[in-house]
Amino acid sequence: MKVLHFAYNMSLKFDAPVEKHRFTLKCKPRSGERQEITWITANVYPNEFLSNAEDSFGNSCIYGYTERKHDHFSVNVIGTARTGLAPWETAGETHRIGMFRYQTPYTMPGPHIKKFAERFSFGEDTPSFEKARAFMTELYSTFEYAQGVTRIQTTAEEAMALGKGVCQDYSHIMLSLCRMQNIPARYVVGMLMGEGASHAWVEVYDKGRWFALDPTNNLVVDDQHIRISIGRDYADCTINQGVFVGEANQTQTISVLVREIG
Question: What tens digit of pLDDT does each residue of 118-173 get?
Answer: 999 999 899 999 999 999 999 999 999 999 999 999 999 999 999 999 999 999 99
Domains in the chain (CATH in brackets) are: 2-84+240-260 (2.60.40.2250), 89-237 (3.10.620.30)
Kindly state the average pLDDT of the residues 209-217. 97
Residue 92: its pLDDT value, please? 80
* ∠ Cα 233 137 32 (to 5°): 50
Are 186 and 156 contacting, i.e. CB atoms less than 8 angstroms apart?
no
Digit-coded pLDDT (tens) for 5-15: 999 999 999 99
Q: Is residue 258 very low, low, confident or very high in pLDDT (cuts 50, 70, 90)?
A: very high
Kindly state the average pLDDT of the residues 31-55. 95
Residue 105: its pLDDT value, please? 98
Q: Is residue 195 very low, low, confident or very high in pLDDT (cuts 50, 70, 90)?
A: confident
Q: Is residue 94 very low, low, confident or very high in pLDDT (cuts 50, 70, 90)?
A: confident
Helix (H, G, I), strand (E, B) or coil at 28: coil
Are 37 and 227 contacting, i.e. CB atoms less than 8 angstroms apart?
no
Residue 19: its pLDDT value, please? 94
Q: State yes or no: pLDDT of 95 exceeds 80.
A: no
H or E stretch covering 118? none
Digit-coded pLDDT (tens) for 70-84: 999 999 999 999 999
Q: State yes or no: pLDDT of 262 exceeds 90.
A: no
Residue 218: its pLDDT value, please? 97
Are 193 and 224 contacting, i.e. CB atoms less than 8 angstroms apart?
yes
Kindly state the average pLDDT of the residues 169-198. 96
Kindly state the average pLDDT of the residues 33-37. 97
Q: Is residue 238 very low, low, confident or very high in pLDDT (cuts 50, 70, 90)?
A: very high
**What rounded mean pLDDT belongs to the chain?**
95
* Residue, of 251 and 92, whose pLDDT is higher: 251
Torsion of CA 102, 105, 106, 111, to 10 degrees: 90
Kindly state the average pLDDT of the residues 89-95. 84
Closest CA to 226 of 85, 76, 58, 47: 85
